[in-house]
Amino acid sequence: MWSPSARFSALALLAIVAPATIVAVLGYVSIRQWGASSELLYREQARDMATMAADKVETTLRRTEDAFLDRVQALLQSGAPLSGALDELLAGTPLIRRLYLIGPRGELVYPRAWRDGDQDIFGPLVSAGAVRRLAREGKREVIANNHVCLALLTRRGGEPVVAAFLRDTDTLRREILETTLGALESSTIIAVLDHEGRTVYSRAPIGDAPRLLSVGFREELPDWRLTVYQAPGASPRQAVRRQVMLFTGALGVLVVVIAAGIVATWRLMRRETEMARLKSDFVANVSHDLKTPLSVIRMFGETLEMGRVTDEGRRQEYYRVITREGERLSRLIDNVLDFSRIEGGRQTYSMTPTAVEPLIRATLEAFEYPLAQQGFKVAVSVAADLPEVTMDADAVQQALANLIDNAIKYSGDDRELTIDSRASAGWLVITVSDRGVGIAPEEQGKIFEKFYRVGRSDTQGRRGSGVGLALVRHIAEAHGGSVTVESAPGEGSRFSLRLPLGGS
Ligand code: ADP
């Protein structure tokens, strides 16, 4: 069969470790799924945002350029002198750096002459064929890596004119890209790259931020692309990793707390079981201790009553046995009663100044008979100059009696009892030494615990309840003192009872 603690451990494993594992596995799976879907969502959102941003840039650019062309068209239609009006219009439109108007036969309508070799660039683009092409394919064309735009206008009288203009990249960056993209709310980095992948504009330094995706512009900026980079720390994967760490940490703490709880409960349970066992031993021991002297008293009493003992000497002997056993009974009952009073917190002590030597001798007197009968060599030495000490004389006597009783009980063949009393550094120290069985070092700390008996001591064939030394310790501490033991197995023990000389 399983022991209670093994059953407890199995139960704890089942009830706590198993659910914790399930929670951990479920948590891990759902975090993985969540990680995957949030990554997808993040990319989708970034793509939507990028498309929207590109649209916005194009619309703004188109609107600005259309407004400009409308005004040029209006001037052409009005038939008024072009030069001054167009110069003025250009000066007020920083986005357009240069403007050339070319007639259907390739002749320059505005300005009067080509500038800075522009003819080489614009000439072929706006040759006669350009008018036909524009008329065929739509009214606008953006060429030369987004720098040059062509548009078809008409003069008064219906004659077509090609307007070719050069965009100013700086103004485009400042007034179009900056104003539209800079205002977007997004944690990503948005940049515009030219046909060679160079950054024309970027909302924040790109550094080595990973590239998320890139979308193209349509008609207005056909060679450029809008690219989205992931800002440092904004990755959903990082957020998920943080969550995983948090989750793992919390789970770890939980497991540690649960494990600590299990260990604490298990230890408590073990202590309780041990205590229950000690208590039941105690009841058996006390009953046994009560029965033995009682049967001796009864037997000797009955013998005397029947008048069978005629010899006076033997009769006296019997009386002494009855008295000694009676005293032993009283001591035992006092011990148990005092112990239960102490346990219930009802014990009180009445302190009075007491002479030490008479107290020791009176205590020893009660053991005169067993000591003599068992052939003990008794040595008592009390320092001559001991002052009176404030104490509860009955309680200290009881403590001493317990120490002496033990010295007798736990002696082997070497029967010696030494009681020594002296003052030392403000303490009254009474030592009770024997040359008996001794106590193993690992037991020395436990013998003062209630109900504790070494090796459940009746194995040593000696009777006892296990409360004697607990009582001694309590009495010593109630006086502000202490009790200690020095002992070696087979060599005997020496108990020192220390009480403060000044009283407590
Ligand atoms: P008990 O009623 O068993 O004597 P105590 O509380 O007086 O209970 O003592 C606790 C245990 O300490 C004893 O069971 C015994 O094993 C050990 N012990 C006490 N005094 C001595 C001693 N003088 N020599 C050896 N062992 C001792």
DSSP state of 133: H
Nearest 5°: phi and psi at 413?
-80, -25
Task: State if residue 435 touches ligand 1 by the CB under 6 angstroms criterion.
Answer: no
Q: What is the atom index within ligand 1 of the atom nearest the CA of 411?
A: 24
Average pLDDT score, the chain: 86
Q: Three-state SS for 73? A: helix
Q: Which of 284, 313, 238, 309 is nearest to 466 (CA)?
A: 284
For residue 461, pLDDT over 70 is answered with: no
- 339 in contact with ligand 1, CB cutoff 6 A: no
- Least confident range from 11-20, 100-109, 258-267, 426-435: namely 11-20
Atom of ligand 1 nearest to the CA of 438: 25
Q: What is the pLDDT of residues 362-383, one digit of tens each?
A: 999 888 888 998 999 999 999 9
105 in Cβ contact with 129 (< 8 Å):
no
Give the orientation angle of helix 393-409 with respect to helix 312-343, to 10 degrees: 120
SS3 435: coil
Task: Check pocket membership of 161 for ligand 1, CB cut-off 6 A.
Answer: no
Q: For residue 468, which of 137, 476, 460 has the smallest C-alpha distance? A: 476
Show the 3-state SS of 173-213: HHHHHHHHHCCCCCCCEEEEECCCCCEEEECCCCCCCCEEE
Query: In degrees, to the nearest 5, what angle opens at C-alpha 433 toward C-alphas 429 and 436?
Result: 160
Determine which of 80-89, 301-310, 456-465 has the lowest per-residue pLDDT on average: 456-465
Does residue 407's CB lie within 6 angstroms of at least one atom of ligand 1? yes
pTM of the model: 0.56
Residue 190: beta bridge partners?
Answer: 228
The two tokens of residue 450 are: 């209630």
Q: Hey, which residues does 202 pair with through a beta bridge?
A: 191
Phi, psi of 427 (to 5 degrees): -120, 150
pLDDT tens for 55-108 read 999 999 999 989 999 999 898 888 788 888 888 888 888 999 888 888 877 788
User: Residue 17, SS3?
Assistant: helix
The residue whose CA has the least distance to atom 18 of ligand 1 is 406
Q: Note the pLDDT of residue 126.
A: 65
State whether the beta carbon of 434 lies less than 6 angstroms from ligand 1.
Answer: yes
Grouping H, G, I as helix, E, B as strand and the rest as coil, residue 488 is: strand
Q: 403 C-alpha vs ligand 1 centroid, how far in Å?
A: 9
Angle between helices 468-478 and 312-343 (to 10 degrees): 60
> Which has the closest alpha carbon to 284: 48, 466, 85?
466
Please write the tens of the pLDDT for every residue from 108-147: 888 888 887 777 777 776 666 766 777 677 667 777 666 7
The residue among 202, 194, 197, 205 whose CA lies nearest residue 177 is: 202
pLDDT, position 17: 74
Supply the pLDDT for residue 454. Answer: 83
The whole-angstrom separation of Cα 468 and Cα 475 is 11
Q: Best of 282, 376, 406, 442 to mutate for ligand 1, by most ligand atoms within 8 A of CB?
A: 406
Say how many C-beta atoms besides its own lie within 10 A of residue 293's C-beta.
Answer: 21
Residue nearest atom 13 in ligand 1 by C-alpha distance: 453
**At 227, is the pLDDT very low, low, confident or very high (cuts 50, 70, 90)?**
very high
**β-bridge mates for residue 354, sequence order:** 389
Handedness of CA 311, 313, 315, 318 (dihedral sign): negative
Q: What is the mean predicted confidence (pLDDT) over 182-205?
A: 85
Q: Name the residue with the closest Cα to ligand 1, atom 19.
A: 406
Query: What's the CA gap between 120 and 214, in Å, rounded?
Result: 34
Q: Is the CB of 130 under 6 A from ligand 1?
A: no
304/479 Cα distance (integer angstroms): 45
> Which pLDDT score, from 0 to 100, does residue 351 have?
93
What is the predicted pLDDT for the residue at 458?
A: 44
Stretch 281-310: mean pLDDT? 88
> Which of 453, 465, 474 is the pocket-test mutation for ligand 1 (most atoms within 8 Å of CB)?
453
With 70 as the cut, is the pLDDT of residue 300 above it? Answer: yes
Q: What percentage of the chain exceeds 70 in pLDDT?
A: 95
In short, whether 492's Cβ falls inside 6 Å of ligand 1 is no
Cα atoms in the Cβ-side hemisphere of radius 13 Å centred on 479: 32
**CB-based contacts of 103: which residues, under 8 Å, 6+ apart?**
109, 159, 161
Give SS3 for 422.
strand
Q: What is the rounded CA–CA span in Å between residue 183 and residue 180?
A: 6
What is the phi/psi pair of residue 352, to 5°? -140, 150
Please give the DSSP secondary-structure letter assigned to residue 286: H
Say yes or no: CB of residue 411 within 6 Å of ligand 1: no
Residue type, 305: E
